[in-house]
Amino acid sequence: MDFWTRMASPGPATVVVNGVTLGVGSRVRLRPRARGDVLDLVLDGRIAIVEGIEQDDTGEFLLAVTLEDDPGRDLGEARMPGHRFFYRTDEVEPVERARATGRALVAGIGNVFLGDDGFGVEVARRLAALGPIPGVDVVDFGIRGMDLVFALQQGYRGALFIDAARRGEAPGTLTVLEPELPDGDGVPVATHGMDPVRVLLLARELGPLPERVLVLCCEPAVVPTGAPGEELVTELSEPVRGAVDAAVDLARTLALDLAGDRPDGQEDGGDRQDGGDHRMDGRGKE
């Protein structure tokens, strides 16, 4: 393997430090060895979250981290300088987590100017307004596909996409899917577009995906094409609007399940390992 091919390949998923396996999402205490500048002095002893593992051309491992208490940590997760730092494995100390549960991402996706396509955004907005959910991050991604790609690299145990999708059901019908990804790579994703499968395929090229990904979708009634001259629609149709409350409740339940530690083999109503689905009408009834 030549130098450029090696540098372009994803880094390892885990690395062992002081007998502890670290991966994306692990907590570490920073211990800069050089102490050559003010930044080393300021960050010494701070708790950070591992966002990625890289390996240079000499084989040395480098941990990309963001500070746990950084109010701009999302900028670090988006790989912005000033909020993302690199340390050698001998410059960090593993820190045990306070609890064994994982983290889950709830991603509201869709275009609010295309009628019912804004369903996922509205559900994410309503869910976030209810207050923090333990172990769950609720984010309105809209049509920012690349932002969602990078977010999937942040060590989430599970992810829930919320979207509008035509499946031949009555408008307002909710469906829970567990997508199966095709083999292959080189799948492009638009910077200002959102196709959940393409997002997952590109995220898989960059690193490991969450252990489990679900899609909560709603059958739309009105979705303009966005063609030039077509009138924009910024409101949900009546049947889709009527499904939002049930979707919020279902999304919260699914997110907690994705984040929690269940005993091996224990099943729940949303588990569909065969790529099947679970349908409900807009009133939350099967």
Structure tokens of 127?
């869910």
Q: Are strands 136-142 and 104-109 parallel, antiparallel or unpaired?
A: parallel
* Closest to 195 measured CA to CA, from 72, 273, 130, 107: 107
**β-pair partners for 63:** 53, 87
Rounded Cα–Cα distance for residues 156 and 3 (Å): 31
Exposure of 2 in the CB half-sphere (CA atoms within 13 A): 2
What pLDDT shows up at residue 195? 74
Sheet holding 47-55, edge to edge: 85-88, 61-67, 47-55, 27-30, 92-95
Exposure of 269 in the CB half-sphere (CA atoms within 13 A): 11
What pLDDT shows up at residue 228? 76
What pLDDT shows up at residue 184? 61
Q: Which residues contact 282 (CB under 8 A, 6 or more apart)?
A: 171, 172, 173, 174, 239, 240, 242, 243, 246
Structure tokens of 58?
């000499």
> How far from the centroid of its chain's Cα atoms is residue 50's Cα?
15
Are 218 and 173 a contacting pair, CB within 8 Å?
yes
What pLDDT shows up at residue 5? 53
**pLDDT tens digits in sequence order for the chain, 286 residues long:** 454 455 455 567 788 888 888 887 788 999 987 656 677 778 888 999 888 888 877 778 899 888 888 877 666 666 667 788 889 999 999 986 543 346 899 999 999 988 999 999 999 999 999 998 888 999 999 988 888 888 887 778 899 999 999 999 999 999 999 988 777 655 555 544 567 788 888 888 877 788 899 999 999 998 877 677 777 788 999 999 999 999 999 999 999 999 884 433 344 444 333 344 555 444 344 4
Query: How many residues belong to the chain?
Result: 286
pTM (two decimals) = 0.61
